[in-house]
A = this chain, B = another copy of it.
Amino acid sequence: MPDTTDQDAALRIASGRKPFVEPLRLGERLREIRLSNQWTLEDVSQRTGLARSTLSKIENDQISPTFTAVQKLIGGLDIDLPQLLSPPRQQTRTMGRRDLTRRGQGDLHPTPTYEHELLSCELAQKRMIPFKTIVRARAFEDFSEWVRHDGEEFLMVLEGEILLYSEFYEPLRLECGDSIYFDSAMGHALVSTSEQDAVVLSVCTRGEAA
């Protein structure tokens, strides 16, 4: 055995890393999730493909689920593993915030091509950025280059009609009520094709998932 081991052990202890993993009451957590969604064991069974009995045993810590079982769990319950393992539910579960924006009362940010109206802009630390945009541009040439930003964007046409130019696709005609979801790192640009300027509602993601 190489010396590495001892040294690593020493470092590990020195680092103050918890030498033991806490019990991790997985069963407890599972039941918590199940009940909070008001699911019965049968429901969860349907979702995960695991037998009722198995689920019962897991919840009562009578068995230690196989990793494949855990995968079925997180898949079926549509949660991710950290969520399943983080019983510390006291996680400053930010909840209760609210930000109202009356029609036309958003923050205006005009540009040559667009006129943005930022919605819900009093709320910081949010994971989505909603805004209403009046599309002034009338031709693709109005843009000096692609609009491009990290994350994803959802967009619905509220008024008028637009042409969505994008880096990897042919231009797409969108009419009132149509919507589209796309990766906003892909270059994109909107132009109005209707008589009056078109109006679209957009929502972008912000920040980055780990």
Alpha-carbon gap, A19 to B74, bound state (A) = 10
Q: Which residues of B contact A19 (CB under 8 A)?
A: 75
Q: Is the CB of A180 within 8 A of B98?
A: yes
Q: Which of B65, B80, B83, B183 contacts A97 (CB 8 A)?
A: B183
Instruction: Identify which of residues 151-195 in chain A touch chain B, using a CB-to-CB cut-off of 8 Å.
Output: 151-152, 154, 156, 158, 166-169, 172, 174-183, 185-186
The 8 Å CB contact of A209, one of B43, B151, B179, B209, is B209
CA distance A74 to B20 in the complex (A): 9
With an 8 Å Cβ cutoff, the count of chain A residues facing the other chain is 88
Are B103 and A186 in contact (CB-based, < 8 A)?
no
For A43, A179, A207, which residue has the most chain B Cβ atoms within 10 angstroms? A179
Interface set, chain A 115-170, CB cutoff 8 A to B: 119-120, 123, 126-128, 130, 151-152, 154, 156, 158, 166-169
Q: Is A112 an interface residue (CB 8 A)?
A: no
> B1 near A43 (CB under 8 angstroms)?
yes
Q: What separation, in Å, do the CA atoms of A116 and B45 have in the docked complex?
A: 26
| A104: chain B residues within 8 A (beta carbon) | 177
Interface string of A31-62 (1 = CB under 8 A from B): 00000011110110011000000000000000
Q: Judge whether A85 is part of the interface by a CB distance below 8 angstroms.
A: yes
Most chain B CB inside 10 Å of its own CB: which residue of A97, A152, A181: A181
Say yes or no: A5 contacts B183, CB within 8 Å.
no
Interface set of A (CB-CB < 8 Å, partner B): 1-2, 4-5, 8, 12, 15, 17-21, 24, 26, 37-40, 42-43, 46-47, 64-72, 74-75, 78-83, 85, 93-104, 119-120, 123, 126-128, 130, 151-152, 154, 156, 158, 166-169, 172, 174-183, 185-186, 201, 203, 205, 207-210
Query: Beyond the given A99-B181, A100-B174, could you list 5 further A-B residue pairs with CB under 8 A, ordered by the A residue number?
Result: A4-B38, A79-B208, A82-B82, A97-B182, A100-B179
A-B contact pairs, 9 of them (CB 8 A): A5-B46, A64-B67, A64-B68, A67-B67, A98-B182, A98-B183, A98-B186, A103-B175, A127-B209
